Amino acid sequence: MSKSEMFKTQLFFLWENSLVDFISQGVDGIRMHTVNNSYIAPKIYSAIRTLMFAA
């Protein structure tokens, strides 16, 4: 795994864990600036979509 891929993987896990915490605590209006990143955005959405629609 290249350094770039490792960084993307670590960034994804950081975002996923943070977003799961925010959503489960009822935080509203989370702003994400990675939505234009075609690698990260779909992975984050896939990880949190069930939480988004359950709230």
Domain boundaries of the chain, sorted by first residue: 3-54
Identify the pLDDT of residue 43. 78
- Identify the pLDDT of residue 49: 79
pLDDT for the residue 35: 57
Query: In whole angstroms, what is the distance from residue 20 CA to residue 52 CA?
Result: 9
Residue-wise pLDDT for 1-55, tens only, equals 899 888 878 877 887 888 888 888 888 888 777 657 777 778 777 877 777 776 5
Phi first, then psi: give them for residue 54, nearest 5 degrees: -85, -20
Q: What is the predicted pLDDT for the residue at 54?
A: 66
Q: What is the largest CA-CA distance in the chain?
A: 37
Q: What is the structure's pLDDT at 24?
A: 84
Q: Residue 37: phi, psi to the nearest 5?
A: -90, 110
CA–CA separation, 18 and 21 (whole Å): 5
> What is the C-alpha to C-alpha distance for residues 12 and 55, in angstroms, rounded to an integer?
22
The whole-model pTM stands at 0.57
